[in-house]
Amino acid sequence: MVINLLKGGLILIPFYELLLRVFPYTSVLTPDTRVAKEYVGIWLALIIGLTAIHFGVKRVRNKWLLVLMGYLLLSTRFAMRLPLVMNDVPNPHFGIWKPLFMALAFFLMFVGVQSIKFTRKNIDSLLSVMVWVGFAMSVYAIIQSFGIDQFYFIKPHEMIGSVVNPQISGTLGQPTILGAFIAFLVPLGLYSKHRWRVIPMITAVCLTKSNMAIGAMVVSILIYAVMIRPRFIYPLIVMIVLSGIMLRANDIIPVDYIKAHHNGRFPVWKQVVHDWKNGPDSKVPARFSLTGIGLGRHIYVFPKNNPRKVSSIQLPNVFQQAHNDPLQVLEELGLFGFIIFMGSIITMMVVAFKAWLKLADYQKTMIAALMASFTCLFLNSLGMFVWQLGLFMFFTTVIVGLLHNKSILYKEELQCSRNY
C-alpha cells in the first residue's frame, strides 16, 4: 500500500492544479502553485509515514538523521524571539512550528520508504513513475516554449528581477524551478529501460536557460556515466583539461561568468553570513551563530536587514529565501545544526558508495543513478531553495529513503511484504 501511495503522490503533487480541474465544481485553493503543492505534499507525507508505522518499520541506521530530528526540537529553545503579539498574547516563536511539523511529516515518510521490502519489479516501477512525471513535465515545457499554454499565465512583475523564458515553467511557476526539477530526474531516466525519455527532459532543462539546473544536470550525468563505466574517468579528465585550455585561450573565465550571472545571490549570501556571525538585528546585540535563529526564521528576519536601514551590503531586492539551502541551514540551525545536517548527507553517500563498490548488476546501476540524482539536487540547493518546496521535499524523501533501503544497499532476499 505504501508503494501505491508513493506513486500517487509522485503524480499528484506536480500536476495538482491540472488534475483538480478534471473534477467538476472544484477550483485551485491558492493562485501560488508552490503553496498548493506544499500542503498536498505535507499531508501525503504524513499519510505515508503513518501507514508505514501501522504495518511496521525498520530502525534508522543513519544516526545523524536521528540526532538532527532531536536537534530541531532543541534548537527552538535557543531560537531568536520575535517581538510578535497576537490578540495581546506574545507569540515569540511564531512561524517555527510549521517547518517543525513539515520536518516530522517528511521524516516519518522517510522511515516508511527506507523500511519497504522491495522487489526489482516494484522499485523499477516506482522509479519509472518518477521518470514519466519528468517526461510529461518536459513535453509540457517544450509546448510552452512555442508560446502555447491554456492553464497558466505570466505575472506582469517578477519578484526577483527579469526571468529568462518565463513562459517555460511547466506547472511549477518559474523556469528555474522547472529546470532543477527535471534535471535530477535525468539520471533516473538513464537508468530506466526507455532511455529515450531523457531526450525531451534534457531539451526542456536547456530551454529554461537556468545555469544552475544545466550545470547540475551535466555533473550528475557525468557522475552516473563514470559510476557505470569507470573507464570513462580518463577521457573525462582529458575533456575537462582541454575545455579549460580552450576557455582560457578565448579569454572566457568561468569565475567571471559566474560573478556576472549570480542574479543577486552573492550579496544575499554575504548578508546571511554576516547575520549568522553578528546577529540578525543590528539594534539587539544577540548572536545565534552556534544554535541558529530558529528553523524557518529567515523569511521573518532577513527582510529587516534592508541595506537602507542596517546593512552596507547592496542587496538587489529582499529575498524570502537565502537561495542556498545549506547556508540557510547554517543561519537557522547554527554551526551545530549545520554540522549534523551535512553529517547526515555525507553518511548517506558514504554508505551508498560502499554498497556500490560491493554490489553488481542492476543494484549497482540503481545506486549510481540514485546517487547522481541526489548530487544534482544538492548542487541545485547551493543556488536555489529546492528543499523548501513541497514538491522537491517529497521527491527528495523518496530518493533519500531508497538510498537508505536495505533491499537496495545489501544482497538479501528482495521480496515485498503483503502489507506494502
Q: Report CA dihedral (26, 31, 35, 41) to the nearest 10 degrees.
A: 30
pLDDT at 310 over 50: no
pLDDT at 372: 94
Higher-pLDDT residue of 78, 241: 78
CA angle 101, 384, 39 (to 5 degrees): 30
Q: So what's the pLDDT on residue 161?
A: 52
Q: Confidence band (pLDDT; 50, 70, 90) for 247?
A: low
Beta bridge partners of 86: 89
Question: Which three cell numbers, joined as nine digits, stand for 352?
Answer: 551508498
> pLDDT tens across 198-230, in order?
999 999 999 988 888 998 999 999 999 988 887
pLDDT given for residue 420 in this prediction? 40
- pLDDT confidence of 306, banded at 50, 70, 90? very low
Render pLDDT for 34-66 as a digit per residue (tens, 0 to 9). 777 888 889 999 999 999 888 888 888 999 999
pLDDT band at 255 (very low <50, low <70, confident <90, very high): low
Choice between 167 and 138, residue whose per-residue pLDDT is larger? 138
∠ Cα 43 46 50 (to 5°):
140
pLDDT for residue 345 is more than 90:
yes
Task: Quote the mean pLDDT of the chain.
Answer: 81
Q: Is residue 317 over pLDDT 80?
A: no
The mean pLDDT value for 10-39 works out to 74
The mean pLDDT of 86-104, rounded to a whole number, is 79
Alpha-carbon distances, residue 277 vs 102, 264, 317, 331 (angstroms):
27, 21, 22, 9
Residue 60: name the closest of 393, 400, 306, 412 by CA. Answer: 400
Rounded distance, CA 165 to CA 245, Å? 32
Looking at the DSSP bridge assignments, the partners of residue 89 are 86
- Give the 3-state secondary structure of 174-185: CHHHHHHHHHCC
SS (H, E, C) 12-58: HCCCHHHHHCCCCCCCCCCCCHHHHHHHHHHHHHHHHHHHHHHHCCC
- DSSP lists the bridge partners of residue 85 as 90
Q: CA-CA distances (angstroms) from residue 74 to 70, 78, 111? A: 6, 7, 21
Side chain identity at 260, as an amino acid letter?
Answer: A
Q: How confident is the model at residue 368 (pLDDT cuts 50, 70, 90)?
A: very high
| Helix orientation angle between 211-228 and 198-208, rounded to the nearest 10 degrees | 150
Q: Residue written as cell 520508504?
A: 113
Residue 136 has pLDDT above 50, yes or no: yes
C-alpha cell at 342: 551535512
How confident is residue 275, by pLDDT bands cut at 50, 70 and 90?
confident
Closest among 68, 66, 60 to 340, alpha carbons compared: 68
Q: Give the CA angle between residues 104, 106, 110 to the nearest 5°.
A: 115
Higher pLDDT among residues 9 and 22, named by residue: 9
**Among 69-78, 84-93, 180-189, 302-311, which is the least confidently predicted range?**
302-311
